[in-house]
Chain A
Amino acid sequence: MKVELRDPNKIMKLSRLGSFHQSKLSFLRSFLNEFKEWEYKRDLFNLSENGFGEAVYSFKKNKRVYSLVCFANEIKDEERSDRVIATKWDAAFTLHDGVPRKKDIERLKNEVPKQEVGRLSYKELTLSRANKSVRIYNHVVESLSKGKQPDLNLLSKVGYLYRTTAVYGSGKFGLADRFRIKHREEINGPFRLEMMLVYLVRQFTFDQVNHVAYNKNPKTAVKLDDNICKNLGIGNSTGLGMAPFIVNHPTLLNNWILSREKALKKIREIKDVESQDSDLFIDCVKKSLKNITSWNTDSEYQQKKISSLLKDVEKFLNFIDKDFNFEIEYPFNKIYKWLEDNTCEECIEYIVSIMMEPYNNIVNPLVKEMSSDEEKYFTIPTHRKVEELRNIIEAKYPNILDINFEEKENNKNFWFISKNKEEPRLADRFEEHGSELEQPLAIARDIKKLYEKLLVSKNSLTIAEFLTSNSELRHVVRRAFIVEKFPYSEIQDNTIGKDLIPIDMLRLKLSFFGALKFDPRSDKWLRICMFQGAPLPNELKSYDEQWVYKTNI
């Protein structure tokens, strides 16, 4: 039986993309898989008794070494802010390519804590900073110093000791350009070095808390239990900065979604499912309920989504227990169809993610297809004709063409770059100033404009001729030719309408990172947790691949 890939006009809607969940394809899981054989080491740990100073952690294999250089700083409570406008952080980090020399550490000590206003070199690959979750951090230090393990109920409410507020890579602030390292086999997957940084930062947070607790009371202090460490991750606060990324990298977006869609298609096409595979699938769904019930958020919007997700996953388990037999042919296809008919988008995508768990043979080759050499697709095929471009738009953007952008509600917002922080922002064009400096992120509106121009242009004109008098539409001409080859490269929705929920765009990206427990703090930013439940560095050589469904706190 041949199953078709799902329709991009359905899957690339924001409500669907905003319902995606982590899976085996997620970058933090594929990072762990790639680096499990590497030698992990703590090379330097030079902290004061209060936990301030430098530390270096590394992964090494053959002659390649990646080193996380950490700087822990003392800041005042009033200086601690998760917003990107902050200028001081509890700790700052960079991933250095190779073994840092003393003079590298001295150089980095001056630059890394400054973050966006510091300068890095081509020897640095990623840059980040993080703040303590003060309440949790202090509680853990206090407990450990008294010889006790911390209160698990309190830990479960947060899930981490530190949260990062940005992770930069790919040439930002002088960091190495991607092209310098793109041929390295071990980083043939998106955001792999960003994942490495976050993973090693997590270990630093455990080492630091143990160190401070010990120095507080050397006679009574105990170490944070390994099992508790394992069940703590790293938090992350993410704002709108992430949203334009998925619009600005269309072929990359395509390759992420296409990999997921190919995995689903192949799983639906399995005629006979082995009992060990169906057992693993059901076991993961059942164990994952803990992730839903321990998902804390004050956001009413997210609470509703969690509540319908929980209800639908329970309904699904009931269906599997009572009405379903895995011995039928193409059982996952039947399950998928049942999900489409009976559950919400959040639940459909949740179960789709878990369907991948038994199938390394399907998923692992797809992980290697998730990067993109975007330069290759940048050039516009200007020898092609207006008629061809019009046909592409009609075929690829049918719902976009139905939107009336003359209506105020469909044209309500504009994306801009803030002068203060050089970060993307969203505002109401009818109430705020600055819409004349709008960023080219209103793709749906501009595609519609392009289509209307094409309708009154001669079919036989070449695109080169069309562009001589329509230069303002060049950016969307390029995109239309990209979507012709890459069906999942475009969000099939209005990114400037009044109903836009920007965190849908963030969730899409974060789900591919492998984030858990999305906690929206408004419609424009959210907190998440990464690596919660993941093996510790010294456990990497042999770990439970389904760790993500087995968190204990």
Chain B
Amino acid sequence: MKSLSEIETTVKRASKAAGYSWGVSEEIGKSIRLLELFSLPGIKHLNEYFNQKNKSKFENLNLISENNSSSNHPYCPITLGVSFLDQINILENLKKIDFKNIAYPIIFISFISRSSEIIGKKISVKIDEKKMLLNLNVNISSNFIDQEFPKIADTIEVNLLENEDNFTNDEWNNLYKLSEETFVEESDSLKEGAAGAGLTDND
């Protein structure tokens, strides 16, 4: 089994050889390491993308807006990913961002996952009809974990989620009430002596 350190180093070097700058290659190394840590096919798709890069054309998107549609060729997932990562503090205000025609979207996903950690918010991503939830770069959950990831995504919808509970108030209150059963009802003497501080702090 390859270690994550080997994966990161080799990806960084291969990316430089594929024509990216050292700084961008470092970003790719971190991103593919992350995908492999999450058991997602980072190495496989990066390999395929680098092979395709020599034969086909891909479009670079440097400035991301609310709606992004490539004119002729699919977007390069790396340039797109680095742009997303770099611009995440501005993109955070958009809430929803749409992309059309992206090559090897799983590579792009790794950069979105890292962006989720930077802004401290979960990000949901819909790749065509498939969904992924990127959880502060701690994990990635999806409804197509055992299926083949697409080589081209027609559409990607990115939703930057607000920090909200994913349970109802009732559910919380029920649980909280149960937790109260570990508390001790205080008698007058306990109120006076058990806290350490006095009943008034006006001294």
Contacts and interface: CB of A to CB of B under 8 A. Distances in A.
Interface in B13-59: 13, 20-24, 26-27, 30
B177 interface: no
Contact of A383 (B6, B13, B89): B89
Nearest to B1: A174
Given A172-B6, A380-B86, A382-B86, A475 B21 contact: yes
Nearest to A176: B3
Contacts of B21: 471-475
A175 interface: yes
Contacts of B139: none
A468 B1 contact: no
A53 interface: no
A177 B23 contact: no
Contact of A121 (B1, B20, B27, B118): B1
A174 B2 CA distance: 5
Contacts of A380: 86
A271 B83 CA distance: 54
Contacts of B13: 417
Contacts of B121: none
Nearest to A446: B22
Contact of B63 (A375, A468, A473): A468
Nearest to A382: B86
Interface in B55-70: 62-63
A379 B34 CA distance: 14
A478 B3 contact: no
A472 to B, nearest CB: 4
Given A122-B1, A382-B86, A471-B21, A478 B26 contact: yes
A475 B22 contact: yes
A175 B1 CA distance: 9
B122 interface: no
B114 A177 contact: no
B142 interface: no
A543 interface: no
Contacts of B2: 174
Contact of B4 (A173, A177, A382): A177
Interface in A176-200: 176-179
A344 B78 CA distance: 51
A240 interface: no
Given A468-B83, A471-B23, A474-B22, A177 B3 contact: yes
Contact of A122 (B3, B22, B63, B118): B3
Nearest to A121: B1
25 contacts: A171-B6, A172-B6, A174-B1, A174-B6, A175-B3, A177-B3, A379-B85, A379-B114, A380-B86, A382-B89, A383-B89, A383-B90, A440-B22, A467-B86, A468-B86, A471-B21, A472-B23, A474-B22, A474-B23, A474-B24, A474-B27, A475-B21, A475-B23, A476-B23, A478-B26
A5 B26 CA distance: 32
Given A382-B86, A468-B83, A475-B23, A171 B30 contact: no
Contacts of B22: 440, 472, 474-475
